Structure 1
Amino acid sequence: MGTWGTGPFDNDAAADFADALDDAEPEEREALIRGVLTRTVNATGWLIEEQEAVAAAALVAAQCPGGDLVDTADGPEEPMPVFSDDLRELADKALARIMSDETGSASNWVDPEDGKQWQADLNRLRAVLAPPESSIPLFHVEP
């Protein structure tokens, strides 16, 4: 069937990834997510796991302030563990890599409006994944 929507789990590859997460032991789920994100960041040439990486990033973003819950109708049905903090940056880097790929999904949408929505969705995920700005002053100077 391929792709049926612009959401992070609205395609066959991401749905298969959700099934793999559901089939994995709870303690193995973070490693599966970390693996697909790492391979995407380090990939040269064609991105083989692009859709899985978007899905993984959505799962990480769901645990961040301002993140959207992942719909279990399309995403994993089993609960995810609390992810390590470093996955936020890794997920953001994976999405940046995907968005910079001129021959990837961004250029393959039949309906240009779907392509724009997909780009907007990835930008939203990246905004949630971005590390929070520090509001603590690094030093205080007396006048």
Structure 2
Amino acid sequence: MKQLSVTVRTDGTRRIIEVANTGASACGLDLLPAVDLGTADDTDRSGNLHPLVPGGLGGPDHALLAGTKAYAVLDLAPGGGAGADVDEMHVLVSPSHMPNAETRAFGLGSGVQVSGPRLGLYRDTVAEAVASMRQADTTQQ
């Protein structure tokens, strides 16, 4: 994962996962990252929440050309309302292409409520990633 950088930024209840290819060659990513939500003090993570993802996935991987970025959007509470208290998001950029890569932990801040989280596919723009997230209807495995 040396040629990839991963950042997460906040936009209301959404978290925008940005993967940048800083290398000199293209690489393939899975259609979406593996994401789970939990608490920083829980080392087991077996009880963590998993977001819904778009169903019927198939087709080619997401090609990430040298010098470009891909975006996936996670909405922690698309319907609003109270939910589970979590303070950390775990991201594995490409579970089948890079299963041994480090799962990165990103703090969510205190008091974050998660209710019915939804995750979209990697897309070339944030707007396209948001549109994909709105189609999420299947539990991520």
Do they fold alike, i.e. is TM over 0.5?
Answer: no
* TM-score, structure 2 as length reference: 0.25
* TM-score, structure 1 as length reference: 0.25
More helix by share: 1
More strand by share: 2
